[in-house]
Amino acid sequence: MNIHSYEKIWLMAALLLIVGFISTVTYGATAVGIDMVSDEGGTVNASALDEDPRFSEPRVEQVGDNEYEAYVIAQQFIFRPDPITVPANSTVTFFVTSPDVIHGFEIVGTNANVMVVPGQVTELTVDFNEPGEYGLLCHEYCGAGHHTMEGSVVVQP
C-alpha cells in the first residue's frame, strides 16, 4: 500500500466521523407534530397475507374517538396503502409486515423508524398532532428497487 491509499483511507475516516457527529445531533430531534409512543410485535403467515384478516386489505381503521389502526404492507418495492391517510390529533397504531424480505419503515424526519420482517408484525404507535405530509421510506436494503421504495403519510386537518 502506498502513501496515497493511506491518505484516502484517512480522508474517508474523517468524512465518516463528520457524518456520524451530525447524525448524532439530529437523530434525537423529532419533527414538530409527531411523537412515537411505542413499538412491539406479533407474528403472521408471510406467505398468506391475502388471507389474513388484518392484512388482506391494507388500510386505516378508526377504532376510537381519536384512535386509529393502520395495517400496512411493506413489499418489494412499495408500501400499501399509499398514501397512508390519518387525521390530525389522532393516535395511530401501525401494524406493519412484509410478504417477501426485510424492509424498513421510517416516517421521514421523525423517530418513527422500525424494521419490517416477514412473518412478524411490527407494531408502533404514533401521535399525529398537526396536519402535514410526511415521507415514508424503506431504510433496509431489500433488492434492486430499494432506492425507489417510498410512500407517504398524509395527516389531514
Site membership for ligand CUA, residue 150 (CB under 6 A):
no
| Residue 149 binding ligand CUA, by CB under 6 A | yes
State yes or no: residue 114 binds ligand CUA (CB under 6 A).
no
Task: Measure the CA–CA gap between 67 and 63, rounded to whole angstroms.
Answer: 5
* Stretch (H or E) spanning 126: strand 122-128
Residue 16 three-state SS? helix
Residue carrying the nine cell digits 402535514: 132
Q: Cβ of residue 151: shortest distance to ligand CUA, in angstroms?
A: 11
Q: Does 142 bind ligand CUA (CB under 6 A)?
A: yes
Is 146 an interacting residue with respect to ligand CUA (CB under 6 A)? Answer: yes
Of 106, 92, 107, the C-alpha closest to 140 is: 106
Question: With binding defined as CB under 6 A, does residue 112 bind ligand CUA?
Answer: no
**Interface with ligand CUA (CB under 6 A):** 77, 103, 138, 140-142, 146, 149
